[in-house]
Amino acid sequence: MNMFCYQCEQTAKGQGCTVAGVCGKTPEPAALMDLMIHAAKGLSRYAHRQREMGEGNVKAEAFILEMLFATVTNVNFDPDALEALLRRAQVVGGRLREQYEAVCRKAGKQPEALCADEEPLADTREGLREQAEQFRIARRKEELGEDVTGLQELILYGLKGAAAYADHARILGQVDEDVMAKFVEILDYLAGEPADVQDLTAKALAVGELNLKVMELLDAANTGAYGHPEPTQVRVTPVAGKAILVSGHDLKDLKMLLEQTEGKGVNVYTHGEMLPCHAYPELKKHKHLVGNYGGAWQDQQREFADFPGSILMTTNCIQKPRDSYEGRIFTTGLVGWPGVAHIAADADGKKDFAPVIEAALAAPGFAEDAPEKTITVGFGRNAVMGVADTVIQAVKDGKIRRFFLIGGCDGAKPGRNYYTELAEQVPEDCVILTLACGKYRFNKQDFGDIGGIPRLLDIGQCNDAYSAVQIAVALAGAFDCGVNDLPLTMILSWYEQKAVAILLTLLHLGVQGIKIGPSLPAFVTPPVLNVLVENFKLAPISTPQEDLAEALA
Dihedral over Cα of 102, 105, 109, 115: its sign:
positive
Residues 264-318 pLDDT 10s: 999 999 999 999 999 999 999 999 999 999 999 999 999 999 999 999 999 999 9
C-alpha distance from residue 42 to each of 117, 184, 292 (Å): 12, 10, 42
Tell me if domain 233-362 and domain 380-552 are identical in fold. Answer: yes
Dihedral over Cα of 39, 45, 51, 55: its sign:
negative
Nearest by Cα to 166 from 144, 153, 181, 145? 181
Task: Give the pLDDT confidence score for residue 501 in this predicted structure.
Answer: 98
Q: Assess contact for 252 and 226: CB atoms under 8 A.
A: no
Burial class (CB in 10 A: 0-12, 13-18, 19+), 108: exposed
* Residue 117 pLDDT greater than 70, yes or no: no
Nearest by Cα to 156 from 142, 168, 140? 140
CB under 8 Å to 316, separation ≥6 — which residues?
72, 73, 74, 75, 164, 248, 249, 335, 496
Task: Give the pLDDT confidence score for residue 1 in this predicted structure.
Answer: 63
Looking at every residue in the chain, the average pLDDT score rounds to: 96
The enclosing H or E element of 235 equals: strand 232-235
Q: How confident is the model at residue 413 (pLDDT cuts 50, 70, 90)?
A: confident
The Cα 265–Cα 120 span in angstroms is 52
Report the topology of domain 380-552. Rossmann fold (3.40.50)
The Cα 541–Cα 408 span in angstroms is 14
The enclosing H or E element of 308 equals: none
Q: Assess contact for 57 and 9: CB atoms under 8 A.
A: no
- CATH number given to 12-225: 1.20.1270.20
Task: Give the pLDDT confidence score for residue 13 in this predicted structure.
Answer: 93
The Cα 222–Cα 215 span in angstroms is 10
SS3 288: coil
* Residue 345 pLDDT greater than 80, yes or no: yes
Task: Give the pLDDT confidence score for residue 2 in this predicted structure.
Answer: 87
The Cα 268–Cα 243 span in angstroms is 6
Residues 214-267 pLDDT 10s: 999 999 999 999 999 999 999 999 999 999 999 999 999 999 999 999 999 999
- In one letter, which amino acid is 277? C
Task: Give the pLDDT confidence score for residue 189 in this predicted structure.
Answer: 98
Q: What is the mean pLDDT of residues 195-211?
A: 97
Beginning with the edge strand found earlier in the chain, give each strand of the sheet holding 310-313 in spatial order.
Answer: 289-292, 266-270, 242-247, 310-313, 329-332, 341-343
* Residue 174 pLDDT greater than 80, yes or no: yes
Q: What is the mean pLDDT of residues 34-62?
A: 96
* Residue 467 pLDDT greater than 80, yes or no: yes
Q: Assess contact for 49 and 100: CB atoms under 8 A.
A: yes
Phi, psi of 243 (to 5 degrees): -150, 145
Q: Describe the crossing of helices 79-107 and 58-70 by its angle, rounded to 10 degrees.
A: 150
- Which residues face 242 on adjacent strands? 266
Record the pTM: 0.97
Task: Give the pLDDT confidence score for residue 200 in this predicted structure.
Answer: 97
DSSP H helical segments within 407-525, as ranges? 417-425, 465-478, 497-508
SS3 517: strand
Angle at CA of residue 304, ends 323 and 238, nearest 5°:
145
- How large a percentage of the chain has pLDDT more than 90? 97
Region of 417 (left: φ > 0; alpha: ψ -120 to 50; beta: rest) is alpha
- CATH number given to 233-362: 3.40.50.2030
- Which residues face 235 on adjacent strands? 374
Task: Give the pLDDT confidence score for residue 154 in this predicted structure.
Answer: 97
Dihedral over Cα of 39, 41, 43, 46: its sign:
negative
The Cα 308–Cα 449 span in angstroms is 36
Q: What is the mean pLDDT of residues 122-142?
A: 94
Nearest by Cα to 147 from 528, 531, 549, 413? 528
* Residue 115 pLDDT greater than 80, yes or no: no
The Cα 212–Cα 468 span in angstroms is 12
* Residue 420 pLDDT greater than 70, yes or no: yes
Using the CB atoms, write b or e for 39-72: b if 16+ within 10 Å: bbbbbbbbbbbbbeeebbbeebbbbbbbbbbbbb
The Cα 483–Cα 478 span in angstroms is 11
Nearest by Cα to 503 from 550, 546, 535, 465? 465
Catalogue the long-range contacts made by 120-124 (C-beta closer than 8 Å, 24 or more residues apart).
Answer: 120/90, 121/35, 121/86, 121/87, 121/90
Q: What is the mean pLDDT of residues 62-76?
A: 98
Task: Give the pLDDT confidence score for residue 412 in this predicted structure.
Answer: 86
The domain limits of the chain are: 12-225, 233-362, 380-552
DSSP code of 201?
H
